[in-house]
Amino acid sequence: MTDQAQVTWHILGAGSMGMLWATRLARAGLPVMLIMRNAERLRTYKAAQGLTLVEGEHSQQFAIQAQTPDSDGPIQRLLVTCKAYDAEHAVRQIAGRLRPNAELILLQNGLGSQQAVANLVPQARCIFASSTEGAFRESDWRVVHAGHGHTWLGDSDQDCPPTWLKELQQSGISHEWSSNILTRLWRKLALNCAINPLTVLYNCRNGDLQRHSDEVNVLCVELSNLLAHCGHAEAAHDLIPEVNRVIQATANNYSSMHQDVTQGRRTEISYLLGYVCAAARDSQFTAMHLQALHQRLSEHLQQHGLPCA
């Protein structure tokens, strides 16, 4: 039963992660409202009569309420699950509906989009998240929970955890409050930069990078030096062994960037390798290998008809 006094979880971006969170929160009886891109997406959602969560052999449909950004009604809590390149524009569309003390949870990969959103809504509390969950859209309005992971949440401005973490617990969303969320995001970003672009350029699985270990290690050294230069030395601790461990542990997997490229989807390059290269330029740090990798990746994306930003 939903308690009327409970704050609604507004979810902006009903894609893989948005559906994964929405269905689990709704299953726990919590109030959820999806915010669709536009009236046409809302129409197709209503025709489907709800979201379906697929876990192993089991699937269950949830008739979750939905609306468009221009609907009425204030927003107290907003989970943003758009891609990094869509987040700022999507939040701008609903910014006028945010209550003065609203809380936003930003689930984007990489770095850059979180700061852009936080600058757009200075009155709100922005909580950054880093997740190892794996989900994909089997079809519209149907999400497969492919990999059970963990989500770290944190706020670089105030370290006080929000009271709604217990609702995540209640919903079976594995999580923890992190007092160093920026270090986590930088660490994940560094791992991504050392692995994902090369898997695209060599068109290979993660494990195949063991044949290119010299190139991987050169990138790790440059990333470690850059992170230390930018004040994130902790995020670079033992990066080489960690990158090699991830390459081995995920040897059979295709990286998320590789999957995006093979499926003809826009990548989040600007918030991953692009962000790191911009950080190097802004702090007058020479990142020769990362810049060269960025150049090669941008050319590769262009050749495949994909945006390089």
Ranges of beta strands (E only) in the chain are 9-12, 32-35, 51-55, 58-62, 65-67, 75-80, 98-106, 125-131, 134-139, 142-147, 151-154, 175-177
**Could you say whether residue 142 binds ligand NAP (CB under 6 A)?**
no
Which residues have a catalytic role annotated? 188
* Residue span 248-277 as binding mask against ligand NAP, x where in contact by CB under 6 A, dash where not: --------------------x---------
Q: At what angle do helices 181-201 and 273-282 cross, to 10 degrees?
A: 120
**Could you say whether residue 108 binds ligand NAP (CB under 6 A)?**
yes
**Could you say whether residue 35 binds ligand NAP (CB under 6 A)?**
yes
Ranges of beta strands (E only) in 141-297 are 142-147, 151-154, 175-177
**272, 9, 54, 271 alpha-carbon torsion, rounded to 10°:** 0
Q: State which residue has the least CB distance to ligand NAP.
A: 15
* Residues composing the chain: 309
**Could you say whether residue 175 binds ligand NAP (CB under 6 A)?**
no
Phi, psi of 106 (to 5 degrees): -105, 115
**Could you say whether residue 133 binds ligand NAP (CB under 6 A)?**
yes
Of 2-10, 82-90, 236-244, 277-285, which segment contacts ligand NAP by CB under 6 A?
A: 82-90
**Could you say whether residue 64 binds ligand NAP (CB under 6 A)?**
no
Asked if 23 and 64 count as a contact pair (C-beta separation under 8 A), the reply is yes
Report the alpha-carbon distance of residue 110 to residue 297 in Å, rounded. 16
Of 36-44, 187-195, 232-240, 276-284, which segment contacts ligand NAP by CB under 6 A?
A: 36-44
Footprint on residues 179-198 left by ligand NAP (CB under 6 A): none
CB of 46 to ligand NAP, least distance (A): 14
Of 101-109, 177-185, 220-228, 244-252, which segment contacts ligand NAP by CB under 6 A?
A: 101-109
Neighbours of 87 (CB within 10 A): 25
Give the residues lining the site for ligand NAP (CB under 6 A): 12-18, 35-37, 41, 69, 81-84, 86, 89-90, 93, 107-109, 131, 133-135, 137, 268
